[in-house]
Amino acid sequence: MTNDAVSLTLGDAADIRLGYPFRGAIADIPNGSVRVVQVRDVSRAGLRHRDALMTTELEGRKEPGWLLDQDVLFVARGANTYASLVVDPPPWTVCSPHIYLIRVKQPARLVPAFLAWQLNQSPAQRYFRQSAEGSHQLSVRRSMLETTPIRIPSIKWQLAAVELERVAYSERDAMQALIKNRETELAILAERLLT
């Protein structure tokens, strides 16, 4: 199917950096000039609560790695490691230091959405579990992330995988909506019959 796929490491295909190195807890400053993406704001499907991200001010002199459209975020701590594609983030947004920011070097060769999808699939997840550190809370180091083996099939196959995932998310959302509607109908019926 994809014999023409190229194998390489993630570090060869993308630039990887940790989020902004805040010192201590991130100060929640209403109307701050910078937004911060934290682990709770990220899901495999993308940014949650994108308009309600915490705002703060940056203190250090380090040039922040501003979040850009088509960046991939990688949550590297906890029981589940996962990647998420960023689509049209708010301006002046950074990530917390618990998230890696991955930027594909050649998007015409490796579709960022496909990379996020691939990092969430069994081969990469197996690699992370086997290589992660920590007994209580797993942690993926940058050096391990850089050496993650990835495959780059043709753009046609990359786009097909991304589209299939999009359809699967849509179907999941539709099924959850149907289940919620059925539960509401049952609750209304119970109210009418039993009170």
- At 93-116, the pLDDT tens digits run 999 988 999 999 999 999 999 999
The distance from CA 124 to its chain's CA centroid, rounded to whole angstroms, is: 14
CA distances (Å), origin 49, targets 37, 38, 115, 142: 10, 11, 23, 27
185 vs 3: which has the higher pLDDT:
185
**pLDDT tens sequence across 115-148:** 999 999 999 999 988 887 766 667 888 999 999 9
User: How many C-beta neighbours within 10 Å does residue 101 have?
Assistant: 23
pLDDT for residue 3: 64
- Of 133 and 56, the one with more pLDDT: 56
Higher pLDDT, 29 or 132: 29
Domains of the chain: 6-153 (3.90.220.20)
Using the 8-state DSSP alphabet, how is residue 195 labeled?
-
Please tell me which residue, 80 or 15, carries the higher pLDDT value.
Answer: 15
